[in-house]
Structure formats: structure tokens, C-alpha cells
Amino acid sequence: MTLSHAEYQAIANKLRPNGQAFIDGKFCDASDGETFQTTNPATGQVLCSVAHCKAADVDRAVTAARRAFNAGVWSRAEPEARKEVLLKIADLVRDHTHELAVLESLDTGKTINDCMDEIGGEVPKFFQWYAELADKVFGKIAPTGPEALALITKEPAGIAGAVLPWNFPLVMAAWKIAPSLAVGCSAVIKPAEQTPLSTIFLAELMQKAGVPDGVVNIVPGFGETAGKAIGLHNDIDTVSFTGSTEVGRMFMRYSGDSNLKGVGLEMGGKSPFIVLEDALLNDDLIEHAAMSAFWNGGQNCSANMRQLIAAPLVEDFTGRIMDRVKSFKLGDPLDPDTDIGSMITKDHKDMVMNYIQSGIDDGARLLTGGGSDLPGYFIEPTVFQGVAPDMKIAREEIFGPVLGIMPFKTADEALRVASDTDYGLHATVFSQDIDRALHMARSLPCGTVSVNGFSEGDIKTPFGGYKQSGSLARDNGTEALDQYLQTKTIWIQTRAM
């Protein structure tokens, strides 16, 4: 249920965030007692001191996770028992939606409406969906002659590490925790240093739901310390990472330099939004174009920032999207009337502002946005016209509210420009001709293509990237389970009777 601004503010005033690590079923400090501070990016106010975990703490967490895994309290529990606990987590998240959503909004600068959607909707749905899968992971029997029985079985991979980004903190935690626990893994989770609080709160709920000690461990800390220690740990069997392509590469190296653990990568993007000449240019299309770019202030891996518009539609499209963009309200993320919250940090805001300057320097025309007078790290939604494919703002992931309009003459040209990128996470195509749209969808080298609407799919559909947006691993759908499962063949010699 949506509350008023005053009611959300009242919840915020009462919150007492916990910044401790969660290891072996206990909230605790980092071994060396060090802490760091997490702040509200919309105000700069310090929210809480957080345990600054390093390699020694990751090691404690992995030891606990391995002990729990080997004891079989979770890994060999009846699948129905794991299902019950995961369903209980979903219920507890629903019971605490308002507190968690306010905490998330304070820690990230995201709007309260987005936080309510994510925490009231998506997060519990994830736990519920993977709970329901826990007792449906079947193996196979291979065809053999009468003198053998060949079983192909699925087993939990062991200890799953997860290293998370700051843009959807609790959703990303759920994406990794729910499937890994459903199949029986133990987990060691590092939330992003900018946004650890909702994941730590979740630990409390997971314990209440009955997750045994040691099965889930949360080690807040920085990438160079806790993140790297997870990547290099010799007793972590698989790691699932969501973040930048630059750091994703490091996880491949960490694996090669340690125990060759499995590595699942979900990384950046530079996704196109393609409007073919025959598309119906109506309010619905404009709404999808605006939301694909400015949802979460553009801090979204699948943000459709290269908007490729058929030349005859460019003028109409530009006028209409400008009207929509100018109606977005920037401001206090806890106010339900706010559409766009704050960038995550000052450094991130500065980086986005540098991209905006580079667009201007390269000769693109700034139509609106480009900064903000509000205190905090706000940037108004920004639209550039006349963006050429070789400009920096057309090639690099900006991860902020900067949309570029790129006219094209033919569908082949649109396909060529859209595909000419190192990334391959997402694309949107609008056309009234389903055959043309399908041809585009099949031709684009991306993990997800949405047609006549911007969508990342939902929990049932795998999400991940081609090229440098991902490894072959996928989050979501039944495919996510593969990141956390081993396949074993048991070949039984039998006597033909």
C-alpha cells in the first residue's frame, strides 16, 4: 500500500539501520573492527557505520558456509523443507515492505515508488518462485544397453559467492540468493559498498524464516578487499557477479588465479531503442521510450540510451519525448510525487556530467537537462539530438539520465548501428509489422529484445548479455539454477537377466 510523504518520512525517522556483517548466524563486526559510513545520496546525511569486511572476514564466512554445506543441514535437506523456508522469507519481506523500501530509498537515492515496486513486488516474488522450483529439479537417465544404468544427476555446486551492484540492491540480492538457496548451496554475499543496508536487513529476515546458521553470510565491504577475496577464495565453488564489465573481467582472472571456480557475469550495456518507420508513434511508445531511458535515473544496465528513430519520425518523436521528459519531477526520493531521485554518489554524478560535456564538445545538440541546482547528487533528465554513432556518448555506458536521439534512413542501417557496440544486453524494437520486428529481434546480438514495449522480461525469463555484457550464465528463469548446480553422471554396471 502506498503511503504519503509524511508517513514515509515518519518510517525513516524511526529506522535504526544495522550495519554489521552476518556470519555463521550472528551479526558481528569486521575482525579488525574497522567500519565505513554509508550515506543518503539525496542529502549527504550519514545513515550508519558499516562493518568493513576484508579477506579474513570472507574467510570466516566461507568456513561457516562450508561447515553448514558439509553438515547437510540445508544442502541435503528435503527440497520441500527448503521450499517452506524460502516461502517464509517471501512472507517476511512482504510484512516489512515499508521499512525495507524506505531503507532502500535512503541508502540509494531511488524513488520510494520504485523501492515499493521492487520490495513489495519483485523481491518476494523471487523467493516464492524459486521456492516453488526447489522440489522440481530433476535429473535424467541416459539411454544405455541392458548392462548399465546411467543417471545424470544435479547437485548443489557448493559455496556460492555473490558480488552485487548498487543500483537495485535488494532485487540483485534476491536474484542471487533465491536460486542458490533453492538448490541447496550455501552463500557468501557482498553487497555494494554504497548500498549494504537492505541486504543486511534481509539477513535478519532469512534467519527468522529458518535458514540454518552458516547457510547465508553477508560480508559488507569494498571491491578491492571483500570482493577480490571472494573472487580469489579457493573454497568458493562458483561466483555470480553483477556490475561493470571492467570488474567482471577481474572475476575471470580471479578464477584463473585461484581454484577455477565457476563465474557468472551480468554486466553493462549500451542498449538501443529502435523505432522503425512503420511504428505507431503514440503516447504509449513515448512512455516506453522515456521509461526505458530514465527509469532509476538511467542507472540501469539495460537502459535504452541510444534511441534510433526512423528519419521521417524524428521531429515528431523529439517534440513528444521532450514534453514527457520535461514533466518528470526531480526531488526528495521519499516523496511519492517524485519521478527521479539522486545519482548514487558525487563521483558518479561528476562522471555523468563529464559525459554530458563530451556530448556537447563532440557537437551533439543538448535539448534539455544537463545538470541540476538541487543539493545532493541530482541530474535532470538530459536529451541530446544529432548523436552520431562514433561519439563517446553513443559508445560508452553512461549509467545516468542521458538519452541520445540518432536518426537512421533504413532498417539495415539501424541494425548495423545498433549492433556496433561491445555490449549486448538489451534492445527494444517498435514496428507494426511483426515480421520486420521479429527479423530485427533475431538479428540483434542481445540477451533480451523487447518488441513494441520496453521490458526486461520477468522472473520466468532468463536475463543476461551477449558479448561484453555477460558470460553464458543467466539470472532469472530456470536458467539461473545452472549457475548453482553441478552435473554428475552415475554409471551403474548391471547384469542383464
Site residues, ligand NAD (CB under 6 A): 163-167, 190, 192-193, 222-224, 227-228, 231, 242-244, 247, 250, 266-269, 301, 397, 399, 425, 465
Minimum Å gap between C-beta 106 and ligand NAD is 18
Query: Distance (Å, rounded) from C-alpha 441 to C-alpha 414?
Result: 12
Minimum Å gap between C-beta 362 and ligand NAD is 22
Query: Distance (Å, rounded) from C-alpha 454 to C-alpha 112?
Result: 21
CB 112 within 8 A of CB 52: no
340 phi and psi angles, rounded to 5 deg: -135, 130
Query: Distance (Å, rounded) from C-alpha 389 to C-alpha 29?
Result: 49
Minimum Å gap between C-beta 315 and ligand NAD is 31
CB 151 within 8 A of CB 495: no
Minimum Å gap between C-beta 298 and ligand NAD is 11
Q: What is each CA distance from 96 to 82, 92, 375, in whole angstroms?
A: 21, 6, 30
| Closer to ligand NAD by Cβ: residue 113 or 195 | 195
**Cβ-based burial of 222 (10 A; exposed 0-12, middle 13-18, buried ≥19):** middle
| Closer to ligand NAD by Cβ: residue 262 or 268 | 268
3-state secondary structure of 22: strand
Query: Distance (Å, rounded) from C-alpha 389 to C-alpha 394?
Result: 6
| Closer to ligand NAD by Cβ: residue 167 or 431 | 167
210: left (phi over 0), alpha (psi -120 to 50) or beta: left
Name 217's bridge partners: 188
Cell numbers representing residue 397 in the block: 555506458
The sign of the CA dihedral 315, 397, 370, 43 is positive
Cell numbers representing residue 18 in the block: 544495522
Minimum Å gap between C-beta 454 and ligand NAD is 15
Minimum Å gap between C-beta 469 and ligand NAD is 6
Minimum Å gap between C-beta 387 and ligand NAD is 19
The C-alpha torsion from 172 through 451 and 245 to 357, rounded to 10°, is -110
**Among 215, 208, 223, residue whose Cα is nearest residue 188:** 215
CB 333 within 8 A of CB 116: no
| Closer to ligand NAD by Cβ: residue 184 or 227 | 227
Percentage helix, strand, coil, to 5, in the chain? Answer: 40, 20, 40
CB 233 within 8 A of CB 186: no
Active site (annotated) includes residue 266: yes
Catalytic residue among 266, 277, 380, 397: 266
3-state secondary structure of 46: strand
| Closer to ligand NAD by Cβ: residue 34 or 84 | 34
| Closer to ligand NAD by Cβ: residue 183 or 219 | 219
| Closer to ligand NAD by Cβ: residue 206 or 250 | 250
Minimum Å gap between C-beta 344 and ligand NAD is 8
| Closer to ligand NAD by Cβ: residue 241 or 317 | 241
Query: Distance (Å, rounded) from C-alpha 363 to C-alpha 385?
Result: 10
Minimum Å gap between C-beta 460 and ligand NAD is 16
Longest dimension (CA), the chain: 85
| Closer to ligand NAD by Cβ: residue 190 or 320 | 190
Query: Distance (Å, rounded) from C-alpha 184 to C-alpha 75?
Result: 4
CB 42 within 8 A of CB 376: yes
Please list the active-site residues: 266
